Amino acid sequence: DGGITQSPKYLFRKEGQNVTLSCEQNLNHDAMYWYRQDPGQGLRLIYYSQIVNDFQKGDIAEGYSVSREKKESFPLTVTSAQKNPTAFYLCATDSGQPDIQYFGAGTRLSVL
Amino acid sequence: AQKVTQAQTEISVVEKEDVTLDCVYETRDTTYYLFWYKQPPSGELVFLIRRNSFDEQNEISGRYSWNFQKSTSSFNFTITASQVVDSAVYFCALSEYGNNRLAFGKGNQVVVIP
């Protein structure tokens, strides 16, 4: 199946813990994005990567980190520095500007 | 900086009624792209339409139609003869040329009552 796979679907974080959200794609897209969605809010950009081994901060990068070692994968780590991590996280990809971004099914992160 | 405003938060309609969602955008670029996405309860965003700033032709696709007016910086979306399956959150978004970062509005929650 072609598409974008996010895992896990639900994730719980303990105080002081780092957690990693997975995003994998087999669309052969160059660009990948991470968004955060809070209830009643639009999506806000955390990080994005337009090519392997390169990534840029978005609007709310503090408390998050990413890597892009492979074209297919763009994991997001929510660090202990992120004091309010409870949100819905969406990964997206596209093949370059101008293009349509396609989204994964999301990961819902909660704090225990 | 790019900005998208969707004024209505929740809109309830009875099945078969039409519903129009307003989107107003701000950008300094002359070349930009406008999008509508649908987010059903499952959470995944589903792409509906993209328009570039040079194409003001309005479009109809089945029960969906879009009205793009550069003069008022608006890109409105209408669902005709709404159905229960249309219940979702709808997002308007904008990207500027050379920068594929999407700026999203806060979304419109559409509730279709059977």
Mean pLDDT confidence for B25-47: 94
The answer to whether B106 contacts A41, with C-beta atoms less than 8 Å apart, is yes
Task: Please say if the pLDDT value at position B34 is more than 90.
Answer: yes
Beta-strand runs (E) in A1-112: 4-7, 10-13, 19-25, 31-37, 43-51, 54-57, 64-66, 76-78, 87-94, 102-103, 107-111
pLDDT for A44-88, tens place per residue?
A: 999 999 999 999 999 999 999 999 999 999 999 999 988 899 999
Identify which of A84, A87, A93 has the alpha carbon closest to the alpha carbon of residue A34: A93
Cβ-contact B88, B111 below 8 angstroms = no
- pLDDT interval class at A39 (50, 70, 90): confident
Residues of B in Cβ contact (< 8 Å) with A4: none
The answer to whether B47 contacts A45, with C-beta atoms less than 8 Å apart, is no
